[in-house]
Structure formats: structure tokens, C-alpha cells
Amino acid sequence: MNRRFSKGLGWGIIDNISGTGINFIVGILLARALSPEEFSVIGVSMLLVTISNIISDGGISTALVRKTAPTIADFNTAFTVNLCASIGVYCCLFVIAPYLSQGLDTPILSKVIRSLGVIIIISALSIVPKSQLTRDINFSTQALASSSSSIVGAIVALTLIYKGYGIWSFVVQQIVRQTIYTLVLWSVIKHIPRLGFSSHSARNLFSFGSRLLIAGLIDAFYNNVYFYFLGKTYNSHHLGLYSRSDQFSVGLVANFALVLQRVSLPALAQIKHDKIQFSENFKQLYNKTTIFALLFSGFIAATSDNFVLLLIGNQWKESIIIIKILAISALFQPLIVLYQNVLQVYGKSKLYLNIEVARKLIAIVLVSIGIATSFTFLLFTFTGIALTSWLLYGHYASKHLNNNNLLQGAEIIFKHLLPTVLICFLVYKIEFSTSSHLVEFILQSIVFMVLSTCYLLVIFPAFRTKITSRISF
């Protein structure tokens, strides 16, 4: 499992980095070509598409991945349900689009929603093929599909931007990217899904997936509503600082957490019937993930001064301290994902939903207190939310782990906390007396890599042996 998992994780990271990087570059060029009003149209449209995709999926993709031995009937049923749901959701969007456009007093919004909405149906066609590849921990093919589709989409977008098509450059890019991604997946999968329906398969898949669907909708609703209230409470300056800081701290770690979730779920699902092996593999995975989360979050906090000034300029200097604070909450994200996957592997979707509702209620209370107190205190409440989520998921997930409780998880964190904090503190305090933020950042990164490698060599004998053998060679 370890070798396949590591390989899958590596390809998952490549997939994530390539897609994110390309979209980042295209986003910068679009920002230069489009007005703020046009960006708001894109924001509203993509929000609707995202929610629609959650509804179309219905949690069925996760149900397929975690199921021990899905049949052809399961795949065909999932394909049929996803396709029909996507068509139904798109028809609803098509009908309400003019009313949304009128309500927001944005005439072009209706056309954009109706055009971008096609992505919902195209995405539905990729759900089952993607689930098949995920079950096989085949993330190299997914990375190929994602990278190739992103590159072609970017070329199309840049061409249309150059020719002055404005907002439609983004619309066409998204449709082209998703179409190519789906076609590549269909060309490599072993079992081509067909239209078909089994009531037994549907009940089995949806009994698990329906609760994940509700949890996903709650999460999407919460993330957008609380951001709205932040905008209403604080001025655009504070909101912009928070938004950008969250992207460079929590967002970066969350991207890794997303990859970890995709890879670890099928890997753990394959050994769920052997409780001893499952618990042992989970412990090893949790230990390595903890080290990575601490080091990565610490690196972000330690280098944020030069990183911010280098990438987005002096006008964003105030975001540096915000990034440092948010980095504390970011380190819990990958660990929460691991505990979530334990519940999903063992089919505890009802419990998963209940925990998700509980953590959102707690989050609302903490954010409300933060908003009523001060902006700085609000930032620290996000650490409280992350810690609470870790405690909730960890407590219930531990019941399915043989001799591996939440207290042991906390011990692993504290075991690596002091060394990683010391490493990152040294990286932060070392001054190279250069006038270039780029040079400073590169030198900090080198020091971090050296110190981190030394620490890994000390705590992982297998890693030390591997490095030594390569040097000897």
C-alpha cells in the first residue's frame, strides 16, 4: 500500500500544482482584460456551477470509491443517475438564469450562466470514469488528463483574450478544459459505463452518498454566506486582506489536503476489513502527514514576509501577519481529512453529516464572537474552528482504529511540534542582508530544505538508509 500510496500522492500533487499554476496565470491575464463587473459575473456563475456539480454528484463518486467490490450495475446506475441529475439541474439553471440576471441587474449574467451550465453535464460524464481510476489509485492518468486539458484550455483562453472576446474567453476555456478532461478519462478506463439502472444499486449508493451531498451543500453554503457577512461587517480593505491571506496560507495547505483525501480514501478502503493493518497503516500515514503539515504551515509563516512582498507587492504588506495567524489553523486541515476518510471508509455517512452540522454551528458561534470583538480576534477564531473540527472527527474516527485513539494523535503532533517550530523559527530569524526579496526567499527556502532534510534523516531510518545508498552509489 505504501508504495502505491506514495506514487498516487506524488501524481496527485503534480496534478494539483499543474492545474492550479496554469489557472493562476490565466487568471492574472483575465484580470487585466476584464472589468470588476465582469469578474463578479464569473464569480456568481461559477458558484452556481460548483453547487450544481455537488448536487449532480450526490456523493455517489465517494460511495463507488469506498465500496468493496462495485459491480457493473453499480457503475451503470451511478452513471445514469449522475447524468440525469446533471441534465435536470442544468434545466433548472436555464429557467432561472433570466430572473437571476434581472435581480442582480446584470443583463449578460443570464447568457453566461446558460453557457457555463453546460459544464455541469460534461462533468457528470466524467464522475464514473474518475471514480474507477481513483479506486485503482491511478492518479498518473488523472494528472495527464488534468494537465493536458488545462494547457489546451489556457491556449484557447489566451487566444480569445488577445482577440478581444472578454468574458467569453473564460466561458469557452472552462468548457474546452472540462470536455478534453472527460474525453481523456473515457479513452483510458477499463469499463465503459452505459445507461442502465438497478434499484438495489441506487439504494445502496445513495443511502451513503445522500448524506455526503447534504454535507457538501452545507459546506458550500457556509463558506459563501460567512464571507458575505465578513464583507458586510468589515470594509473592502480588510476583506481583501483576509481573502488574499487565506489563499496563500489555508488555501495552499488545503490543496494538499484535497490531494491527500483523494489518494488516501481508496488506499484505506482496500484494507478496511483488516482492522489491525488498517490501524497500523493509518498511524504511519497520520505521522507522516503531521510532519508535512507542521513543516509546510511553518514554512508559509516563516517566509511570508518575503513571499508577500515578492509576489503581490508592498500594498499587501498588512497581510503578512494575517498569513502567519491563519497558518496555525491550516496545519489541522490534512489531519481532519484523514479522520474524515476513516468515517467514509466504514460507511458512517450519517455520523459524518452530524459532525459537519455540529462543526458549522460551532463555527457560526465562534465567527460571530470574532466579528463582534475585533478583526485580529476573528483571525484566531479560525484556529479554534480547525481545532474543534479535528477533535470532533478524531474522537469518532478513533473508535474504528485499533489501539489508536485521539490522545495518540495529539501525542504525535506534540512530538514533532517543537522541532518543526525551531526549524521554522531559525528560517524566519536568519537575515541575509540582501535588498532582493527574491534572493531572500530562495535563501530561506534552501535553509529550510537543509534543516528539514536533517530532521527527516534523524526520525526516519528508512529515509536515511535510502539517501545513504544513493550517495554511496
Residues 203 and 254 in one domain: no
The answer to whether residue 63 is domain-embedded is yes
Domains contained in the chain, number: 2
Among 193, 209, 225, the domain boundary falls at: 209
Residues 248 and 132 in one domain: no
Q: How many CA atoms lie within 13 A of 244 on its CB side?
A: 20
The predicted-structure confidence for 361-398, as pLDDT tens digits, reads as follows: 898 888 888 888 887 888 888 889 999 999 999 999 88
Residues 94 and 185 in one domain: yes
Residues 155 and 55 in one domain: yes
The predicted-structure confidence for 173-228, as pLDDT tens digits, reads as follows: 999 999 999 999 998 887 788 888 888 888 877 777 777 778 878 877 777 666 66
Residues 291 and 178 in one domain: no
**Inter-CA distances, 192 with 8, 73, 198, Å:** 23, 12, 17
| Backbone angle region of 59, left / alpha / beta, with phi > 0 → left and psi within -120 to 50 → alpha | left
Residues 166 and 250 in one domain: no
The answer to whether residue 220 is domain-embedded is no
Q: How large is the angle between the packed helices 36-57 and 72-103, nearest 10 degrees? A: 150
The answer to whether residue 214 is domain-embedded is no
Residues 157 and 238 in one domain: no
Amino acid, res. 402 = N
pLDDT at 3 over 70: no
Residues 167 and 238 in one domain: no
Per-residue confidence at 468, pLDDT binned at 50, 70, 90? low
The answer to whether residue 105 is domain-embedded is yes
Task: Name the more confident of 472 and 74.
Answer: 74
The predicted-structure confidence for 253-293, as pLDDT tens digits, reads as follows: 777 777 777 777 777 777 888 888 888 888 888 888 899 88
The answer to whether residue 30 is domain-embedded is yes
Residues 271 and 398 in one domain: yes
pLDDT at 145 over 60: yes
The predicted-structure confidence for 287-319, as pLDDT tens digits, reads as follows: 888 998 899 889 988 888 887 777 666 777 887
Among 209, 243, 274, the domain boundary falls at: 209
Question: What whole-number distance in Å separates Cα of residue 297 and Cα of residue 380?
Answer: 15
The predicted-structure confidence for 23-41, as pLDDT tens digits, reads as follows: 767 766 776 677 666 766 7
Residues 241 and 200 in one domain: no
pLDDT at 387: 92
pLDDT at 182: 92
Average pLDDT over residues 320-333: 86
Residues 374 and 450 in one domain: yes
The answer to whether residue 397 is domain-embedded is yes
Among 209, 242, 268, the domain boundary falls at: 209
Are residues 16 and 139 in contact, defined by beta-carbon separation less than 8 angstroms?
no
Residues 198 and 264 in one domain: no
pLDDT at 412 over 80: yes
The answer to whether residue 4 is domain-embedded is no
Neighbours of 157 (CB within 10 A): 28
Question: What whole-number distance in Å separates Cα of residue 338 and Cα of residue 449?
Answer: 26
List of residues 6+ apart from 159 with CB closer than 8 A: none
pLDDT at 2 over 70: no
The answer to whether residue 10 is domain-embedded is no
CA angle 69, 9, 423 (to 5 degrees): 145
Q: Which of 201, 194, 146, 214 is nearest to 357 (CA)?
A: 214
Domain that holds residue 146: 15-209
pLDDT at 51: 83
